[in-house]
Amino acid sequence: MDHKDRQETCFTNFSTQNQQKWEFPDPLTELLQASKAQDWDPAAMLNNLSFLEQKIHQLQGLVHLIIGRRDRVSGQVQPYELVAQQQQLVTADLTSIIVQLISTAGSLLPYVKHTQGAPSLSLGQFQPQNGGVSGGGGGGSGASELQNSVDVSTNEEHDLKDEEDGEELGENLFPGTYEILQLEKEEILAPHTHFCTICGKGFKRDANLRMHMRGHGDEYKTPAALAKPNKESSSEPALIKRYSCPFAGCKRNKDHRNFRPLKTILCVKNHYRRTHCDKSYTCSRCNTKKFSVMADLKTHEKHCGKDKWLCSCGTTFSRKDKLFGHIALFQGHTPAIPLDDTKGSTGTCDPGNDSEATNKLGSMNMFNFSSSEDVKGSMEDPSGCFSPLNFETCNFGGFHEFPRPPFDDSESSLAFLLSGSCGYTNKSGEQ
């Protein structure tokens, strides 16, 4: 049966996502196992049983729904896509309920769970979901919620760079079919959105807050308390939520003519920071690239310095052949020579000063400057200070092998160099 297949795939997807969402899945499961094994609580068991009952009812409703749908499908003509979509939603819902049933049923047998590895694992993974769907009534709304929560979790975890744009490809919502929310600027930029009601500590993620709460007492350790709370009661009509950027005139602002909504709160946050805020995070390696979102900086830092192939036009390449292809294409472009090369020959460059290494103009200037330094350096004749016997002078009758230049000369040659270096201004010291 292909139903089963789909179930399995959904199952695996779900489990991986859940695992990712929890930052410390292993301690949690251990904790749960420990509490379950030690004190066998009849109240909790009752709770679980009633939960099972509820779930079975839900399952029944769903199956009824499927039957009803099938009838309707056969009766009236509906677009095939819509049918498929609905069926998918229903199946997803079904899957989640069955999974929860299994896990909860498993929790009723603490000693079994103790000896068997696999069920305990699945319990730990799906426990948080228990409370979430427990109040769920309508199949459709539950499904959309589920989808939403899945989306959020993936976004949170991966911090996809293109999530603002990528979302549009898959989605084609008509105006009015979704609810538009607009957060205030302060809310968007607030570092924490979840606060502990006891100690006031702030968290970026609700899950982390819930983990934190465990420290405040046993009452926060129950599966219900640790479960992911459902933000809206599922009895409400299913309206998809979309977000608007508070910045007036922005394409993502709901008043814009071609308004394109943002999918999640995280999208809003990233969009707002990237588009309407200062780029305050500077890469510590290159000191050039700036970002407003920390995740972007971290992504850049993974590659920063690997783009060592630099063209005179300022473009960097991670691969030499790409740089050479670029140079072959554009007239007058040449590869820029990394500054470290001169360390051996001149010794005037400060290897620790990375800002100059990447600043193209700075390095050009540096180039000229160090060259004039070098000129001065080599003027000093070591034979003068070394040669203890000083054969040259005695044998040539006072003729020094090469006259030491007056200081003025080297100064003037330096002046020429600076004037002749195409008017590059000294930028190396800045930033």
Site for other proteins contains 405 (CB under 8 A): yes
Measured from the CB atom, the residue of 24 and 396 that comes closer to other proteins is: 396
Owner of token pair 């819509």: 82
Q: Write out the two tokens for 172.
A: 């084609």
- Nearest distance in Å: CB 353, other proteins: 18
CB of 289 vs other proteins, minimal distance in Å: 23
Question: Are 91 and 6 within 8 A, CB to CB?
Answer: yes
Between 115 and 395, CB nearer to other proteins: 395
DSSP assignment string, 24-56 = -HHHHHHHHHHHHHH---HHHHHHHHHHHHHHH
Q: Which C-beta is closer to other proteins: that of 169 or that of 329?
A: 329
DSSP assignment letter at 303:
H
Interface with other proteins includes 423 (CB under 8 A)?
no
Per-residue string for binding with other proteins, 356-375, x by CB under 8 A? -----------x--xxx-xx
Site residues for other proteins, window 306-335 (CB under 8 A)?
A: 320-321, 324, 327-328, 332-335
Q: Say which residue the tokens 């990394």 belong to.
A: 338
Q: Which stretch binds other proteins (CB under 8 A): 158-166, 201-209, 266-274, 401-409?
A: 401-409
Q: How far, CA to CA in Å, does 62 sit from each of 79, 141, 380?
A: 22, 12, 92
Beta bridge partners of 178: 240
Reading phi first (left if > 0) and then psi (alpha if -120 to 50, else beta), residue 218 is in alpha
Binding to other proteins (CB under 8 A) within 57-96 occurs at none
Residue type, 44: A
Q: Which of 353, 379, 418, 427 binds other proteins (CB under 8 A)?
A: 379
Residue 76 tokens, joined: 């009236």
Can you give the length of the chain in residues? 431
Out of 75, 237, 397, 420, the only residue in the binding site for other proteins (CB under 8 A) is 420
Query: Residue 20 corresponds to which amino acid?
Result: Q
6 or 376: whose CB is closer to other proteins? 376
**Residues forming the site for other proteins (CB under 8 A):** 320-321, 324, 327-328, 332-335, 337, 341-342, 345-346, 367, 370-372, 374-379, 381-383, 386-389, 391-392, 395, 399, 401-402, 405, 409-410, 412-413, 416-417, 420
